[in-house]
Amino acid sequence: MTAAPQAPAPLIDRAVPVYRPSGKRPVWMGTPSPGVQLLKAITIALIVLVMLYPFVYVIAMSFASREAAASGGFFPTAFSLDAYRSILGGDVVTRAMLVSIGITTVGTTLSMIFTTTLAYGLMRTRDVPGAKTILVLVLCTMLFGAGIIPNYLLVRSLGLLDSYWSLIVPGLISAFNMVVVRNFFMGLPTELFESARLDGASDWRIFTRIVIPLSKAVLAVIALFYAVGYWNSFFNAMIYLNDTSKWPIQVVLNQYVVQGSALTSIQAPDQPPPPGQTLQMAVIVVATIPILMLYPFAQRYFTKGVLTGAIKG
């Protein structure tokens, strides 16, 4: 009865032992011909190059000195920090970064609270009258969306236009993420809840002391999804915020890089302007850095099957 807290079973059911490559070619496989191997190596090298080159090029160019940027080529050679000094000295980019960081932090926190509580509440559909209906209603929202205009009209009639809340509240809970979390919760051993309940623990206590600590892995992934979503959100900010001083970094990036508005307004006033292209690259890098920082941490979890279990809900 006192089942030790243990990691829940992986969400992909594996009825049979599975081929796990161990870095050694199994005997039965047979060695492919050198030609095939070469072809494979070249293909993979090409894919890696295509994926990485744009990033490398943009980062390199953002550090390029005036002369190096002007001479073009596939890779600049001379190094300079002027572009960063210039954009971080002006207030547009700095303020937009702060806005984005704020939205991402507050939004992710709220999203996690609402997602996990709803997932916990909808766990025991058999015991709780109405929970099944509510679950189905939530799942249905994955099937159809209301469309852009009704959402806009709703946000406007709630008086959220030009408020930072308009970037957080409409996407507070993603039904998909809720289902992923709920599936994970349901994989936890039931005995834990039962014995806790027998000991007189309240739902809140079970939730905060048992369920949440045992679900750290999946919660990390979901938090990452929310954070990336908030950081990357562009369209909501574009339609809901008219006040340009409230713009998050993605909208600023669109304005000054994609649509190519004059960059002078985003620089520090007393700096000699570095070439426009270098400035644009620096803005791109600044907007990408938070993602690049989160990425290695999160990347470990992706292949663990946390997500695949939810696809077929």
Partner 1 sequence: MSVTKDGVPAQAGTSPAGSDASAGRGRVSRPGRRRRRRDDPRLEHVLREQASVWTRMKRERWTYAFIVPGMLFFLVFSYVPLLGNVVAFQDYSPYWGIGGSEWVGFDNFTAMFSDPQFLGALKNTLIISFLQIVFAFPAPILLALLLNSLISERTKRVVQSIVYLPHFISWVIVISIWQQVFGGAGPAAELFSAIGLDNVNIMSDPDTFKALVVSQVIWKDIGWGTIIFFAAISGIPNELYEAAAVDGAGAARRTWHITLPGLVPVITLLLILTIGNVLTVGFEQLLLQQPAVGADAAEVLDTFVYYRGIAGGDWGLSTAAGLFKGVIGTVLVLAANKFAKRLGTGGLF
Grouping H, G, I as helix, E, B as strand and the rest as coil, residue 64 is strand
The least CB distance from residue 270 to partner 1, in Å, is: 27
The least CB distance from residue 293 to partner 1, in Å, is: 11
- Residue 28 or 269: the one with the smaller Cβ distance to partner 1 is 28
- Residue 152 or 273: the one with the smaller Cβ distance to partner 1 is 152
The least CB distance from residue 91 to partner 1, in Å, is: 20
The least CB distance from residue 16 to partner 1, in Å, is: 4
What b/e sequence results for 251-279 when a residue is b if at least 16 CB atoms lie within 10 Å of its CB, and e otherwise? bbbebbbeeeeebeebbeeeeeebbbbbb
Q: What is 77-113 written as a DSSP string?
A: -SB--HHHHHHHHSHHHHHHHHHHHHHHHHHHHHHHH
Query: Bridge-partner residues for 79, per DSSP?
Result: 64
- Residue 65 or 233: the one with the smaller Cβ distance to partner 1 is 233
- Residue 89 or 276: the one with the smaller Cβ distance to partner 1 is 276
- Residue 18 or 270: the one with the smaller Cβ distance to partner 1 is 18
The least CB distance from residue 302 to partner 1, in Å, is: 6
What b/e sequence results for 115-144 when a residue is b if at least 16 CB atoms lie within 10 Å of its CB, and e otherwise? bbebbbebbebeeeeeeeeebeebeeeeee
The least CB distance from residue 264 to partner 1, in Å, is: 18
Closest among 223, 213, 214, 212 to 294, alpha carbons compared: 223
Distance CA 198, CA 190 (A): 12
Q: How many CB atoms lie within 10 A of CB 215?
A: 20
In the structure encoding, which two tokens stand for residue 14, read together?
Answer: 């594996």
The least CB distance from residue 53 to partner 1, in Å, is: 7
- Residue 208 or 265: the one with the smaller Cβ distance to partner 1 is 208
Query: Bridge-partner residues for 64, per DSSP?
Result: 79
Q: Which residues contact 182 (CB under 8 A, 6 or more apart)?
A: 119, 122, 123
Q: Are 90 and 268 in contact (CB under 8 A)?
A: yes
- Residue 90 or 252: the one with the smaller Cβ distance to partner 1 is 252
The least CB distance from residue 74 to partner 1, in Å, is: 5
- Residue 60 or 268: the one with the smaller Cβ distance to partner 1 is 60
